[in-house]
Every structure is written in C-alpha cells, then in structure tokens.
Amino acid sequence: MEKEISQAVIRRIPRYYRYLGELIDDGVERISSNELSARMRVTASQIRQDLNNFGGFGQQGYGYNVKYLYDEIGNILGINQQHNIIVIGAGNLGQALANYVKFEKRGFVIIGLFDVNPALNGISVRGIKVRMMNELEAFVKKERVDIAALTMPKEKADETANMLVSLGINAIWNFAHLDLELPEHVVVENVHLSDSLMQLSYNIAKQRKRKE
C-alpha cells in the first residue's frame, strides 16, 4: 500500500524536477545529495527525506543518477503522459498561459481557449483558436480534456467550474480569486495572485521592522 504523501512534500517535488532538468542540460550524470543540497539551498537531510517518500533512488557512496531520478520524479508527478488543457477566459492571462511553450514540453498541451467576448471569436493564440462558450459542451464531448484552467472573473467562476465538472472534467487550475465549491473527487489547484501579493507585502513590512 502506498503511503499518503503530504502536500508540503508535493510542493517541493516540482522544484527537484526543475533542478534535475537543469543538471541534465548541463551534462551532469550523477550528483550527491550534498551537491544537490548546495545547489538547491535545502539541507541534504531534507533531500534524502523527501526522496525517501518515493522509495529513495539514492545509492550509498554513489549519489543519485540524475537522468533516472528525473524520469522517476516525472512519473511520480504524472507528467509521463500528456494532459490536455482548455482555458476558460481568453483575456491577457488566458493568452499568457496559451503562449507558454514550456508547458507543452512537460506534456501540458492547451487545446482550446474559450471566452464570452465576441470580439475574441475566431482569433488565434499560438495557433490555438478562441471559441465562444456556447461551443464548449460540444468541444468537451469530442476532445479529451484533462484540465480546465479558469482565467475568468470570479463572479461566474463557481458556476462555470461546476458546469465543467458536469461535463466530466475532474481537474481545475483555478486563477479566479475565490475558493471553488466542487465535489470532492475534483482536483483543484489554486493560483491566487492577490494572496501572493499580500504575502509579499507582509514580508516587506516584517523586513522593514527588522531594520528599524
């Protein structure tokens, strides 16, 4: 039986993946937890502990095989398979997501953009056509959609998310500034930019006090 891994660990794992990808680009084939620790600025014991959650991968006195670890973490993160994404809200943020070529390299492929604004109807972003919301249902029934990104105003976000779930989409990448109320089986990942700004301002205030 697999043990439950905490979301705190899961939050750190993509960072390992990013660093290992850079090591591969640099031609590094193996690395000790101490070297990885210096590079990532986390303790070596933290690294060993995190990776032990997934069965270790390390070999005493040898270190980690970078490519193997990279691939294994990729498997764990589920990015060994393609994820099709639709973006609901084709404003600046939706278009920004559609323009991120890097997502595609990781298997996250944006296959559709949707909006209610007729001015956007039919325009293309990096070859991805913007469709109107009334075309959504037919689209989802035809294409496999794994993730819906919500980059729309918060007022209609909850309703839209529930509609998407009723169409069989079980994962929401939510940029709307509210907590969605969805059935328990739905996986939600929030990007709350205002919350992030407030965290920043808290840390600015703290830093100022420290200086005084």
Which residues contact a second copy (rule: CB under 8 A)? Answer: 2, 10-11, 13-15, 17-18, 40-41, 76-79, 83, 91-93, 95-97, 99-100, 102-103, 106, 108, 146-147, 170-171, 173, 177-179, 185, 187, 189, 191-205, 207, 209, 211
Q: How far is the CB of 121 from a second copy (least distance, A)?
A: 19
Using CA atoms, how far residue 207 sits from 36, 41, 117, 185, 199, in Å, is 29, 21, 43, 41, 12
Q: How far is CA 55 from the centre of its chain?
A: 23
CB-based burial, 84-123: b 16+ in 10 Å, e otherwise = ebbbbbbeebbbebbeeeeeeeeebebbbbbbeeeebeee
Q: Are 170 and 183 in contact (CB under 8 A)?
A: no
* Shorter beta-carbon distance to a second copy: residue 11 or 142: 11
In the complex, minimum distance from the CB of residue 122 to a second copy, in angstroms, rounded to a whole number: 18
Closer to a second copy at the Cβ: 15 or 59? 15
30-31 and 64-65 beta bridge pairing: antiparallel
Distance in Å, CB of 210 to a second copy, minimum: 9
Q: Which is nearer to a second copy, 60 or 184 (CB)?
A: 184
* Least Å from the CB of residue 187 to a second copy: 4
Q: Compute the residue count for the chain.
A: 212
Q: In 3-state terms, what secondary structure has residue 10?
A: helix
- Both structure tokens of 196: 């992030």
- The kind and range of the H/E element at 174 are strand 171-174
14 vs 59, beta carbon nearer a second copy = 14
Min. distance of Cβ 62 from a second copy in angstroms? 26
DSSP type of residue 156: G
Q: Which is nearer to a second copy, 13 or 167 (CB)?
A: 13
User: In angstroms, what is the minimal distance from the CB of 60 to a second copy?
Assistant: 28
61 or 183: CB nearest a second copy: 183
